[in-house]
Amino acid sequence: MKVLIVHNDFRVYWKGRLLFLKKYLQERDIDFYAIELFGKGSPYSFDTYENKEQWWTCLFPDKSYDEISIATIRETFLNKINEINPDVVIAGSIVFFAGALGLRWAKNNHKKFIMFDDAKPSQIKRNFFVQWVKDLITMQIDGLWLPSKDYNDAYRKFIDKDSLVFYGYNCIDNDLFKFRAKREMDFTTIICVARLVPIKNIDYLLRAWKLIEKRRPNYRLVIIGDGPEFVNLNELTLHMGLKTIVFLGAVNNSDIPTYFYNSAAFVLPSLSESWGLVVNEAMASGLPILISNKINASNTLLKEGINGFGFEPSNVKNIAEKIISFIDLNIEEKRKMSENSSKIINSMNYENMGEELVSMLTRAENMHGRKPGPLASMLINLWHGRYNTSGWDKL
């Protein structure tokens, strides 16, 4: 069997996943290939394209989507996928180039198409007609690869008794964040790692910290990350007279585990997150988590009072209260939360991702692919996708 995974770009977290899957599937006599479309233009632009694997191709390594015509993207992609001729195509949402063109090729060549997505449809507002067209196209997929079972309700209209549904791709290399030495639990630092953009809601975290600083002045908040809000947030900190907040700016990814190790807990107040993989990282480091209930990962990874606390991100008082609830725990209670974070995230790892994928591929071999009706076929062949990431860090 030949399996191809396609995405607009494979940056940051995808690199480790693909390298693991190549080896994992190869050991099971499954050929695995990857195509990414663009080497530039990613929201994760700090992570440059540097792949040299023969099985992993970037079609336009020196260009972003807005430097290439739709016709060129389409022709180049279709030529490459024809060359590989996979039995199963796995791609992101049909909203984007990779998903739209991958679905088109799969349906026109009677192959299986699996879509992965970690955004919930309810989080993206569209007018009725656009949503109807998107839904009609999406209903032609043969399977869904979702982060966890907590997504089932959000994708219910695309799931029926014949659907392939499997889970767990939103994982990281947990081993990179694990510490062999025993963590002490008397740290007085709460750490936040986030891009400094409005949707991360750091200004509300600062306002909440004003309340915390008055009541628990021995704790400090360390914020790692850069972005367009860096100056504004520093000015807000000065304006409020906060004395126990430290902005470190951007730091090397390899140094993040050390900062986690020397912290008591992780906090993330985002107004919205399609998942929030930094939560995985913090938990793999053994940190209790204090996170917004608008982060999709919270539905799967946060067990209230067990490995952390959730809060309403638009409520400054609620943010402060939940952080103080953690601060006021005794050392043994904090240690137990740390252990629970590690246990919970251990089940969301590369090995589980590989097992889920192989199980799905086995089932896919024995099923008939969906055959689109005339209207759906027409729409699939007209729609080429897009690459609009302008709203990825905004509500």
pLDDT digits (tens, 9 = 90+) for 21-30: 999 999 999 9
- Dihedral-angle region of residue 241 (phi above 0 means left; psi in -120 to 50 means alpha; beta otherwise): left
DSSP letter for each residue of 320-384: HHHHHHHHTS-HHHHHHHHHHHHHHHHTSSHHHHHHHHHHHHHHHHTSPPP---HHHHHHHHH--
Segment 358-375, tens digit of pLDDT: 999 999 988 888 899 999
Q: Scan for tokens 């990282």, then name that residue.
A: 281
Domains 2-171+349-382 and 174-346 share a fold: yes
Q: Are 168 and 159 in contact (CB under 8 A)?
A: no
Residue 21 is encoded by which pair of tokens? 């899957």
* Tokens of residue 8, six digits: 């607009």
Per residue in 1-44, pLDDT (tens digit) is: 999 999 999 988 999 999 999 999 999 999 999 999 999 887 77
Question: Tokens representing 280?
Answer: 């995985």
Q: What confidence score (pLDDT) does residue 303 get?
A: 98
Each domain of the chain, given as residue ranges in start order, spans 2-171+349-382, 174-346
Mean of pLDDT over the chain: 92
Predicted confidence (pLDDT) per residue in 59-107, tens digit:
999 999 999 999 999 999 999 999 999 999 999 999 999 999 999 999 9
pLDDT at residue 49 greater than cutoff 70: no
**Does the predicted TM-score (pTM) go above 0.85?**
yes
- Per-residue pLDDT of 170-223, as tens digits, reads 999 999 999 877 777 788 999 999 999 999 999 999 999 999 999 999 999 999
Please, what's the b/e burial string for 3-25 (b: 16 or more CB within 10 A of its CB; e: otherwise)? bbbbbbbbbebbeebbbbbbebb
CATH (one of 3.30.565.10, 3.40.47.10, 3.40.50.1360, 3.40.50.2000) for 174-346? 3.40.50.2000
Fold of 2-171+349-382: Rossmann fold (3.40.50)
**Cβ atoms within 10 A of the Cβ of 213, count?**
20
